[in-house]
Structure 1
Amino acid sequence: MPTKANISDKAVEPRRRPRQQRGEDTIDRILEASAELLEELGFDKLNTNLICKRAGLTPPALYRYFPNKYAVLKALGERLMRVQNDALYDTLDETGILPTAQNIADQLRGQYDVTMAQEGGPWIMRALHATPQLADVRRSSHGEMVKRFVDLRVSEKPGTDVQEIERRYQIIVETGYAVLEMLIDNPDLDVDATLKDTGFMLFALLDSGPSV
């Protein structure tokens, strides 16, 4: 089994894409079993033997699609990032590109809630943070989010300094995600108060004038 120290970027890629519904169903079983085990055991104790046992599959059936547990975690991470992004996108029509501080806090609360509701969600985020080979999952998701914000801003406010607003949205997206990680790892924190403070901080950056 590869370790965090020696797995390569290539080793976390799926081996093949399913061509039939049966293959899709097998992948769903693998991901559901893995998420359950993450919830119960955490990241370090997860392994492919346990995944196979929980999913009711033989090791060759799992290895047909995933070479190791890190490839499974990548698929789980991509799924979680889509859910988080969708929770944010669903609010954009309501708030527009110039939300209030409370709107930002509410958006972050939505992302926090869907993460906590997703089986294994907190552990998936920890795995993405702790495994360098999985960093592209987060970067790709956040890059998509920043592009969505920038495109909306430019379409609604022609003449926007694209480089400046892209930098600010990147700060906002990365800061918001870091706060979600902090809340997950510090369950005693007041979630709503923390997100309200974060909303004010990020709104101040978004609402500020051009950089000097």
Structure 2
Amino acid sequence: MPEDVSGALPEETKPRRRQARGERRIAQLLQAAANVFCAHGYTATSTNAIAREASVSPGTLYQYFPNKEAIAIELGERLLTEMREAHGQAFSPANLTLPLPEMLDVTVDPLIAFNCENPAFLALMHGSEVPGRIAEEHDALHANLLARTQEVIGHYAPALPVEERTRIANMTFAIFKGGLDLILAAPEGAEREATIAELKTVLLRYLCPLVEGPCADEAAVTTTRTR
């Protein structure tokens, strides 16, 4: 086959480059959407606002997404995928081999880190007009988180009846959610770290009475260290 000395790119290279540019543009639009959702919420956000945030024309945005709902679905699915990965890291079988105080550290940390790194997750998932598909996936993720929490409680307190285990799991999740709101509202740095430590102390003091052994002493030590 004669060598092409014209300097032109092979035809198969051009689609790959166009695809890479398209992926970068989509990432740019999704990040802009995340910023605007955080600032104004899903309902108040418009495609024009997202285009302005991304420094592109509305026409450019519509080349990739037909409407705001399509943007929210794509962003939501990506965030849900990352959240599932955080859940996998938090609820790994190896973590259940740890004493309760250490288990709380390695379980809570990846969940907090995900939400701190992705504030759009809560802004999008808790909107009043979130697309149904995303709301359903979020509800399934929430149910899975509660089920995993019940499994953890059952591991550390196997004698608990199922209904009590369920009630404690719901309360544990409510404590975590309330603490997470305070963490996200705290300034980054020392204040946020102190708020994270307080949440862990609350969880430990709530769960310690379920566990046999020196857990209560560990809770007292943890509280002392965080003050």
Q: TM-score range by the shorter chain?
A: 0.5 to 0.7
Which residue identity is paired with 1:192?
A: I
How has the CA–CA distance of structure 1 residues 136 and 62 changed in structure 2, closer, same or farther, with 3 Å as cutoff?
A: same
SS across alignment from 1:43: helix
SS in 2 for 1:131: coil
Deviation, structure 1 residue 96: 1.2
Which structure carries more relative contact order (alpha carbon 8 Å, separation 6+)? 1
Structure 2 equivalent of residue 112 of structure 1: 112
Q: Does 1:126 align with 2:123?
A: yes
TM-superposed deviation, 1:84 = 3.5
Checking the alignment, whether the CA contact within 8 Å between 2:156 and 2:211 is kept in structure 1 is no
What amino acid maps onto 2:139 in structure 1?
R
Match of 1:59 among 45, 55, 62: 62
Q: Which string of whole-angstrom CA distances, capped at 9 and with x for unpartnered residues, describes residues 130-168 of structure 1?
A: 536476554332101222344677799988633332332
How far residue 85 of structure 1 moved from its aligned partner, in angstroms, is 4.0
Q: What do the CA deviations read for 1:29-55 (whole angstroms, capped 9, x no partner)?
A: 54233124456x553774212334528
Matches of 2:99 and 2:168 in 1, distance apart?
14
Q: Alignment partner for residue 203 of structure 2, among 172, 181, 199?
A: 199
TM-superposed deviation, 1:100: 0.8
Q: Distance in 1 between matches of 2:106 and 2:155?
A: 24
The one-letter code matched in structure 2 to 1:174 is A
Q: Which residue does the alignment assign to 1:148?
A: 148
Aligned AA (1:43): G
Q: Secondary structure at the match of 1:147?
A: helix
TM-score under structure 1 normalisation?
A: 0.60
Return 5+ residue gaps in structure 2 as ranges. 1-18, 213-227
Closer/same/farther in 2, CA of residues 84 and 205 from structure 1, 3 Å limit: farther
**What is the aligned length?**
180
- Percent of pairs with identical residues: 17
Moved more, 88-97 or 153-162: 153-162
User: Corresponding residue for 1:72?
Assistant: 71
Residue 82 of structure 2: aligned partner = 83
Q: Identify the range of structure 1 (163-172 vs 72-81) with the bigger mean alpha-carbon deviation.
A: 72-81
Greater share of helix: 2
Q: Which has the larger radius of gyration?
A: 2
| Structure 1 CA distance for aligned equivalents of residues 151 and 200 of structure 2 | 26
Residue 96 of structure 1 aligns to a residue whose secondary structure is helix
